[in-house]
Amino acid sequence: MDAPEASPVSVLALYPALRSLAYPDLENACRPAALLNIPAGAEIFTERQACQGFPLLLAGTIKVVKTTPSGREMLLYRVEPGGSCIITSSCLLGHTPYSARGIAETPLSLLVLPAALFAKLIAENAHFRDFVFHLFSDRIAELMQLVEEVAFHRLDQRLAKLLLGKDAPIHATHQALAEELGSVREIVSRLLKGFAAQGLVTLGREQITLLDRDGLRQIAELPR
Q: Which residues pair with 210 in a beta bridge?
A: 201
Q: Which of 105, 128, 150 is the last residue of a domain?
A: 150
From residue 167, alpha-carbon distances to 108, 181, 193, 197 in Å are 22, 17, 20, 22
Q: What is the pTM of this model?
A: 0.67
Buried b (16+ CB within 10 A) or exposed e, 31-52: eeebbeebeeeeebbeeeeebe
Establish if 127 belongs to a structural domain.
yes
Category of 175 on φ-ψ map: left (φ > 0), alpha (ψ -120 to 50) or beta: alpha
Length of the chain: 224
Residues 39 and 16 in one domain: yes
Establish if 186 belongs to a structural domain.
yes
Is there a contact between 57 and 102 (Cβ–Cβ < 8 Å)?
Answer: no
Q: Which helix (H) or strand (E) holds 53?
A: strand 53-59
**CA 30 to mean position of chain CA atoms:** 23
Query: Is residue 32 classed as helix, strand or coil in its secondary structure?
Result: helix
Q: What is the pLDDT of residues 36-49, one digit of tens each?
A: 999 999 999 999 99
Dihedral angle of Cα 155, 156, 158, 162, to the nearest 10 degrees? 130
Q: Which of 116, 132, 150 is the last residue of a domain?
A: 150
Q: Which of 150, 180, 197 is the last residue of a domain?
A: 150
CATH number, position 51? 2.60.120.10
DSSP state of 17: G
Q: What is the pLDDT of residues 202-218, one digit of tens each?
A: 998 889 999 999 999 99
Q: What is the pLDDT of residues 64-88, one digit of tens each?
A: 988 877 777 778 888 999 988 889 9
Establish if 1 belongs to a structural domain.
no
pLDDT at site 113: 86
Q: What is the pLDDT of residues 143-161, one digit of tens each?
A: 787 776 676 678 888 899 9
pLDDT at site 1: 45
Residues 121 and 160 in one domain: no
Cis geometry, peptide bond prior to residue 4 (ω within 30 degrees of 0): no
DSSP state of 88: H
Which residue range(s) make up the domain with 102?
Answer: 8-150
Side-chain half-sphere of 33: how many Cα atoms within 13 Å?
Answer: 1
**8-17, 51-60, 92-101: least confident range:** 8-17
Contacts of residue 49, defined as CB under 8 A and 6 or more positions apart, other chains included, come to 97, 98
Q: Which helix (H) or strand (E) holds 36?
A: strand 35-38
Establish if 74 belongs to a structural domain.
yes
Residues 137 and 199 in one domain: no
Is there a contact between 111 and 34 (Cβ–Cβ < 8 Å)?
Answer: yes
> Is the pLDDT at 176 greater than 70, yes or no?
yes
Is there a contact between 123 and 70 (Cβ–Cβ < 8 Å)?
Answer: no
Higher pLDDT: 87 or 223? It is 87
Residues 107 and 202 in one domain: no
> Is the pLDDT at 5 greater than 90, yes or no?
no
Between CA 145 and CA 85 the distance in angstroms is: 18
